[in-house]
Copies of this chain bind each other. A is one copy, B any other.
Amino acid sequence: MDTTQRTEQQRSADRRRRELLEAADRVVLRDGPQASMNAIAAEAGITKPILYRHFGDKSGLYAALATRHTDALLDSLRAALDAPADRRERVEATLDTYLAAIEARPQVYRFLMHPAEGSQSDPGSDQGFDVGKHTAPLLRRMGEELAQVIEDRLDLGPESQQLARVWGHGIVGMMHAAGDWWLYERPCSRADLVRILADLLWGRLAAAGDKVGGPGF
């Protein structure tokens, strides 16, 4: 009973699964998050039941697809965060890496961040589903990873763990919201956005002076 020993059929199944995932990827890239199972099956040259055998249900397929992209993105973010440079440079590099990724493939970004409905499909079942279960897992994973980095590398006193986790999720949320808005409105260059966000994290909000005698005040 060696579980690591894969039979010929199993390896063929894995290969097929990868092919199906690639087909699904193409469809999602073309149609966005609302790609239907029928469309994906058609793209793969087969019919629905096979998809369901491989991935259980739509959430399963989406999860498998999301995991691939999420892992890839997280890898590049980790690289930027681990570069040998001072803290501000690393932060800017990480922000820029994220923004470059969503800029390069906005359809993938939409799929990861706005997964239509996902999960919790079966209304006849008993599953309760808590608040927050729908949040894109990518945000959570990024938040947790950043929290870990912060906690490992920064000296934050006794509360360090709580601080790091809040900051991790908070900073990731800042990056996400600003990036989402920027991608849609394109109000400035990527470099400008990166610098302005880093300035915010570096306390420039607290340091700014009050505006006195503005127009009408």
Contacts and interface: CB of A to CB of B under 8 A. Distances in A.
A211 B154 contact: yes
A13 interface: no
A124 interface: no
Given A88-B206, A155-B208, 16 more contacts: A87-B206, A107-B131, A109-B131, A114-B134, A116-B116, A130-B184, A133-B184, A155-B210, A155-B212, A162-B188, A171-B174, A171-B205, A173-B175, A173-B176, A200-B201, A201-B205
Q: Categorize the interface residue count of chain A.
A: 35 or more
A171 B176 CA distance: 11
Interface string A13-47: 00000000000000000001110000000000000
B139 A177 contact: yes
Tell me whether chain A's interface is mostly helix, strand or loop, or mixed.
helix
18 contacts: A34-B123, A107-B131, A110-B131, A114-B134, A116-B116, A116-B117, A130-B184, A153-B210, A154-B209, A155-B208, A169-B177, A169-B182, A171-B205, A172-B177, A173-B176, A174-B174, A203-B206, A203-B207
A209 B143 CA distance: 21
Nearest to A107: B131
Contacts of A131: 106-107, 109-110, 183-184
